Structure 1
């Protein structure tokens, strides 16, 4: 008989979580985005957020920490009532429902805050994940980070709609 994977736990961000969130952010970019971004782009992306700025950014938003067996393995933040600002999962936790649990929670919280649509600036690596969740590409963007330019897509989801092909 197969062993079931534990469901990720969610809890609010605490300032003491900043170092582990920074490590998840860095590992996620370094290990998961290589098919979509060059090494120089990855390094610029990682360097874009200093730890003090990172702590302030996470602290100003509704930020959730995902855990597996009490260990933080991912985080996501809701900026305002209708924008997913950050969503990162440690490479060791990919495929265990962490991103889905974080996204489910942010979508519910956004709806509870009165949002009818939710937007996100989605990396090329995360594009397929968001598409499967019912997000639709709105526009392609390119942003400067240091000496590099990174492409991403603004995506939007109307809350309350079930994505095509998703279980009802």
Structure 2
């Protein structure tokens, strides 16, 4: 089976706008559901995957918007330099495999470097680990799930060279 074609136009990456938190939460749940998790599992994750309106700015939430205005994905960059956290990164299932995640990851790295971060940690869904490894992250351990007791997630780290470093 061939992967879906990349979107012909790159997404516009922009800060999340007021009023988008509920839509981002639903996108996160749809994206998580892409991996075949059942309704009970997803409901257990709902609180952890909820994007709150009053946190959009503080979490440095960036959305990937398609030319038709639809939001195809989003990510958050959390913490304070030098060590930060990729808190959330989700791509709408209809857009998975079309370069949206890569665009969000490249933007994340550029923003993090410019802000003075030298390292980002990622608590990855096991199904997304390969994506993050392809973006340059390395597995450094495991971490307990914040939603499912007894579940363990890959703990990844992405080291960043300072901006302008050759």
State the TM bucket, normalised to the shorter chain. 0.7 to 0.9
Could you say which residue in structure 1 is the equivalent of 2:113?
Answer: 111
**1:128 partner SS:** helix
**What's the TM-score once normalised by structure 1's chain length?**
0.80
Write the distance in 2 (CA, Å) between the matches of 1:149 and 1:38.
17
Could you say which residue in structure 2 is the equivalent of 1:57?
Answer: 55
Could you say which residue in structure 1 is the equivalent of 2:78?
Answer: 79
Gaps of 5+ in 2: none
Residues 9-88 of structure 1: pairs in structure 2 closer than 5 A: 9-30=12-33, 32-34=34-36, 37=37, 40-50=40-50, 54-69=52-67, 70-80=69-79, 81=81, 82-88=84-90
**Contact 1:33-1:42 within 8 A present in 2 as well:** no
- The more displaced of 87-96 and 73-82 is 73-82
**1:110 partner SS:** helix
**What's the TM-score once normalised by structure 2's chain length?**
0.81
Number of equivalent positions: 154
Gaps of 5+ in 1: 162-168
Could you say which residue in structure 2 is the equivalent of 1:165?
Answer: none
